[in-house]
Amino acid sequence: MKKTDAVIIGAGPVGLFAVFELGIMGLNAHVIDNLDKVGGQCIELYPDKPIYDIPALPECTGESLTKNLLKQIKPFNTEFHLNQRVESLEKKDHNWIVTTSDQEKFETPNVIIAAGVGSFEPRKPPIKNIEKFEKTNLYYAVKDKNKFKDQIVCIFGGGDSALDWTVELSKIAKKVILIHRRDDFRAAQHTVGLARDLEKEGKVEILTCYQPLDFKGDESIKTVEVKHDDGQQKNIEVDSVLAFFGLKMELGPIANWGLDLEAKSLKVNTENFETNEKGIFAIGDICTYPGKLKLILSGFHEGALCAQECFKRAKPDEKYVFRFTTSSSDIQKRLGVK
Amino acid sequence: MPKVTYIEFNGKQHEVNVENGLSIMEGAVQNGVPGIDADCGGACACATCHVYVKEEWLDKLPEQGDSEKDMLDFAFETKKNSRLSCQLILEDKHDGIIVNLPEKQG
Ligand SMILES: Cc1cc2nc3c(=O)[nH]c(=O)nc-3n(C[C@H](O)[C@H](O)[C@H](O)COP(=O)(O)OP(=O)(O)OC[C@H]3O[C@@H](n4cnc5c(N)ncnc54)[C@H](O)[C@@H]3O)c2cc1C
Ligand code: FES
């Protein structure tokens, strides 16, 4: 069990800036995110797109904003716990026990939910009862590529993951079959070229304008049934299936924590962004209140205000004194400014 | 104000008058029509505003841009008449348009 002043759920821009606001007050935080990287929507959905409405930053991208936030919070040596979803919150006296999908546990007086529109989860192909295959030979990511040695691997998708793995696995698999719903691939054209070359060599088979219809098999997928746009169907024998249909945001376990919800957002007060539970806060896209705007700049403001209440809960015997970063030697010490 | 008919997957119909200049996605979200999630708020980055446009209306709509084509790869059970409704901005000529909603948004 790790003890900490605050646990932040979500490493999007708003969660990252909350680390800063807590940090300059001398509070430490652990940050948990389901993705394998920090940055939330900015990194997962639009790393290269320009953003023009961050105050005093006339132009940045999702990626550069994330990089700069990480630089800004570097002095606090924050611990990130990635690839883990927060599953439950339980009350223990004045504190909360936070448990993740990897069974990591944290005890803290403050839980800041900065979970955006929810955690990023793989999108699944439109096939009934596919969950049972997830235990055997259906994958949404490659953890250990050696599993696919000498196998017939069927890959669905047209983006970088699908094409990169088509090329990579063709080196060890018996055969790779790439299936995509249209002729164009979103993936880098260079990789598409490599896959087309492998197709000519017979190592890869590429089927376009096909969509999955059914996966057949008892415990594991034995046959993949696909349908061409013109109606023709085809059965393909496989050893494993990799589906790369991107990620989707799902509210997930947050809905089960007994917090007041409105649509898919958490209701908060605008004084300190606390939810209906003491010590549980919601900031950024996940929170709602009259006039809420889902903007990064609003989330930054919300983080600053919620940090004040976090301080009171983490250090009930200390008096908080408002200070500017410009003139406070305490803050500057925490920031490592000499 | 063009009238839009949204038909949920279970067959339930919603007729809504939507202001010119708004998208079919916004028309649904602002009027509480269920079945369109629009997680990214209309930025063509989530594919959770997927609809099937009644065939006869397809050629009255703007052509698919590259980003819409790309994002449609992520939509659940796409068909020939699949579109992302945040990219469908309404004008007078769309009065009466009908869209069917998919079983789920991804
Ligand atoms: C294409 C596009 C363009 C945009 N352009 C702008 C713009 O120009 N200006 C602007 O201000 N805003 C813009 N936005 C909106 C902006 O990106 C969001 O407001 C912002 O990302 C919200 O930040 P956040 O930290 O609240 O949530 P997010 O960025 O959504 O991050 C939340 C994180 O929480 C994680 N998470 C959720 N639940 C759990 C859980 N149970 N366990 C573990 N982790 C969890 C998720 O995996 C995710 O990484 C844009 C959005 C999109 C999609
Ligand atoms: S609302 Fe996200 S793609 Fe249309």
Given A193, A222, A245, which residue is the final one in a domain? A245
A233-250 burial, b at 16+ Cβ within 10 Å, e below that, comes to: eeebebbbbbbbbbbbbb
Enumerate the residues of chain A whose CB falls inside 8 A of the CB of residue B48: 248
At how many degrees (to 10) do helices A13-24 and A296-314 cross?
40
Cα dist from A65 to A14, A52, A71, A170, B43, whole Å = 11, 11, 10, 37, 18
pLDDT at A199: 96
CB contact under 8 A, A245 and B46: no
Q: How far apart are CA A66 and CA A72, in angstroms?
A: 10
**What ipTM does the predicted assembly reach?**
0.82
Interval A56-60 mean pLDDT:
97
With beta carbons under 8 A apart, name residues in chain B contacting A126. 76-77, 103
Write the residue with the smallest CA distance to atom 8 of ligand 1. A51
Residues A303, A200: Cα–Cα separation, whole Å? 55
Nearest in space to B98 (alpha carbons), one of B79, B83, B76: B83
Residue A247 Cβ inside 6 Å of ligand 1? The answer reads no
Distance CA A185, CA A27 (A): 47
For residues A255 and A224, membership in a common domain is answered with no
- Residue A269: which domain range? 2-121+248-334
In a shared domain, residues A330 and A220: no
Q: Are A157 and A180 in contact (CB under 8 A)?
A: yes
Nearest Cβ partner of B39 from A159, A246, A249? A249
Residue type for position A217: G
| φ, ψ of residue A70 in degrees (nearest 5) | -65, -35
Q: Which domain, by its residues, includes B89?
A: 3-93
Please classify residue A154 by burial: count the beta carbons closer than 10 Å to its beta carbon, then call 0-12 exposed, 13-18 middle and 19+ buried: buried
Reported as a single tens digit per residue, the pLDDT across A122-156 is 999 888 889 999 999 999 999 899 999 999 999 99
Residue A18 pLDDT level (bands cut at 50, 70, 90): very high
For residue A212, give both structure tokens: 């999955």
Ligand 1 in reach of A66 Cβ (< 6 A): no
A to B CB pairs, distance under 8 Å? 45
Q: Do A203 and A147 sit in the same domain of this protein?
A: yes
Q: Are B14 and B31 in contact, with CB atoms under 8 Å apart?
A: yes
Contacts of A45 in chain B (CB under 8 A): 40, 43, 45-46
The CATH number that applies at residue B32 is 3.10.20.30
Average pLDDT value for residue range A73-92? 96
- The shortest CB-CB distance from B73 to any of A45, A181, A294 is to A181
Q: What pLDDT digit, counting tens, does each position of A218-230 carry? A: 999 999 999 999 9
CB A123 within 8 A of CB A248: yes
Interface touch A182/B43, C-beta < 8 Å: no
